[in-house]
Structure 1
């Protein structure tokens, strides 16, 4: 019989070792941690200990992620409350960027808007943006996280702490639906965060919180658009 046939037979006959319990004592298996042979029961116990160790590590990792998410969620609530409390539309864009830096320990952040109402066209946040930036914003269905490959939006960032090596870029969109995952309508701006640390924003990181930031910022800044 082949190894597979033996395994299939044992799987098909779960009572085999019940009917032949003496084999459990006499069977000896190689010990992966040494040369001495061990009984089947000892090998099973070793496998269970290894499995439990793996599960404990996984649980510890999940708890750590949970604590991190709780912390980020608390910061999101505080940031949102500050955004909602801002009464001056002219101060709102700068305030959003500054509070992101403070609440989330982001080294650099900035935003630009276009096609704003006439009363805001001369503001710093409404400075001219090239057509490439607008096309890029329209193409961003999800936030971009990764290396700064020479994005024009990265040039808006304050480089006093060093040139941004990694960036997170979020499109600001007009809302056209109440669907949670709907990316929204036409883009009217970009929110960019950067860091001199090339690992701060990477393409493997989750974007759920960044999506929420984009949605909240878009809703708050919509008051600066023509009615």
Structure 2
């Protein structure tokens, strides 16, 4: 029994065409006569031309994605090289007392971080009164130990932001807080220090940014600063 035309829906047509791949081969005149509205105006175009437009749009989208991937790859390679230089500088430090200063200086000069500071606690007796052991309250230590990933986001008045050397009228607007511990970054365990990065640009350390490089930097910094324990 033939289905009445009035009861044929678009879904029926789609189902028929997808299940009958040879239809347009047998009825090429139908394919040639199909007219669609162009995305570039109100003019009518053939189905083949509309398909060509769709392919061109898809190719442009793929080209943009490839360019973005290449750009990100180049940026990541540059960052990786700078992190390598930074870790090399830490390895060359002979006196452990100089490690925090070298670490902060490298972050500013090699990695272009506007503001940086580091604090450690529970250090060995020879370093107990060093400047890098001061100002870390018990609350900060507890908070740092709770971090299993670097924290990135706006400066909401966090106590560690006060460790940053900054101009009085231009405080850091965004922060990255990197916990320092004797094991891997993502293993919950007591931290022995905190590395703080700051920028006046509120988007520099955005909450949505990737933290893989920051996590590796925290682990490198932790390995270096264990000499103070």
Q: Report the TM-score range of the alignment, normalised by the length of the smaller protein.
A: over 0.9
**Counterpart check, 1:222 vs 2:208:** no
For 1:149, the equivalent position in structure 2 comes to 156
TM-score (norm 2): 0.93
1:126-182: per-residue Cα shift (whole Å, max 9, x none)?
11421110111011110001100111101000012820110000000012x6xxx74
TM-score (norm 1): 0.94
Q: 1:27: which partner in 2?
A: 34
Contact persistence 2:150–2:177 (CA under 8 A): yes
Q: Distance in 1 between matches of 2:209 and 2:42?
A: 44
SS for the counterpart of 2:209 is coil
Aligned match of 1:202 in 192, 201, 206? Answer: 206
Segments of 5+ residues of structure 1 without an aligned counterpart are none
Match in the other structure for 1:10: 17
Confirm or deny: 8 A CA contact 1:142 1:183 kept in the other structure.
Answer: no
**1:147 and 1:198 in contact (8 A); partners too:** yes
The DSSP-based 3-state class of the residue aligned with 2:11 is helix
Q: Considering only aligned residues, what root-mean-square deviation do their CA atoms show, in Å? A: 1.3
Q: What does residue 114 of structure 1 align with?
A: 121
Aligned to 2:88: 81
Given that 2:145 and 2:188 are in contact with CA atoms closer than 8 Å, whether structure 1 keeps it comes out as no
TM-superposed deviation, 1:185: 3.1
Q: How many residues align?
A: 221
CA contact (8 A) 1:173 1:184 kept: no
- Kept after mapping to 2: 8 A contact 1:165/1:198: yes
